Amino acid sequence: MYSLLKPYEAIVDFLGEALGDNVEIALHDLTSPEQEVVALANGHISGRTVGAKLSNLSIHYLETKQYLNNDYVVNYKTAGPDGKLLKAATYFIREEGREMPIGMLCINVNISDLEYIQTTLYKILGIKETTKVEFKRDNPIEILSSPLDEMVDKYIKECLTEMGIPSYVLVERLKVDEKIRVVKYLQAKGTFKVKGAIALVAEKLDVSEPTIYRYLKKM
- Mean pLDDT value of segment 97-121: 83
- Whichever domain contains 89, its CATH number is 3.30.450.20
Give the Cα-Cα-Cα angle 88, 58, 36 (nearest 5 degrees): 105
Does 109 lie in the same domain as 11?
yes
Does 151 lie in the same domain as 55?
no
- Per the DSSP assignment, residues forming a β-bridge with 93 are 103
- Mean pLDDT value of segment 119-147: 56
Say how many C-beta atoms besides its own lie within 10 A of residue 183's C-beta. 27
- Is 17 in contact with 10 (CB distance < 8 Å)? no
Output the CA–CA distances (angstroms, integers) from residue 139 to 27, 105, 158, in the order listed.
23, 21, 15
Q: How many residues belong to the chain? A: 219
Output the CA–CA distances (angstroms, integers) from residue 70 to 90, 130, 133, 139, in the order listed.
10, 28, 21, 17
217 — pLDDT class (breaks 50, 70, 90): confident
Does 164 lie in the same domain as 204?
yes
Does 171 lie in the same domain as 88?
no
Residue 123 in domain = no
Residue 33 in domain = yes
Cα separation, 34 vs 219, whole angstroms: 29
DSSP characters for 84-150? Answer: -EEEEEEEEE--TT-SS-SEEEEEEEE-HHHHHHHHHHHHHHTPPP-------TTSPPEE--SSHHH
Say how many C-beta atoms besides its own lie within 10 A of residue 189's C-beta. 24
- List pLDDT tens digits, range 15-45: 999 999 999 999 999 999 888 999 999 998 8
Phi, psi of 42 (to 5 degrees): 60, 45
pLDDT (0 to 100) of residue 140:
45
pLDDT (0 to 100) of residue 142:
59
Does 189 lie in the same domain as 107?
no
Task: Count up the domains in the chain and report the number.
Answer: 2
Secondary structure class of 169 (helix, strand, coil): coil
Does 198 lie in the same domain as 110?
no
Does 154 lie in the same domain as 86?
no
Residue 46: which domain range?
Answer: 3-117
Residue 98 in domain = yes
Output the CA–CA distances (angstroms, integers) from residue 63 to 60, 72, 88, 196, in the order listed.
5, 15, 19, 17
Does 106 lie in the same domain as 10?
yes
- pTM for this one? 0.60
- List pLDDT tens digits, range 185-196: 998 887 887 778
Beta strand 23-29 with 37-41 is antiparallel
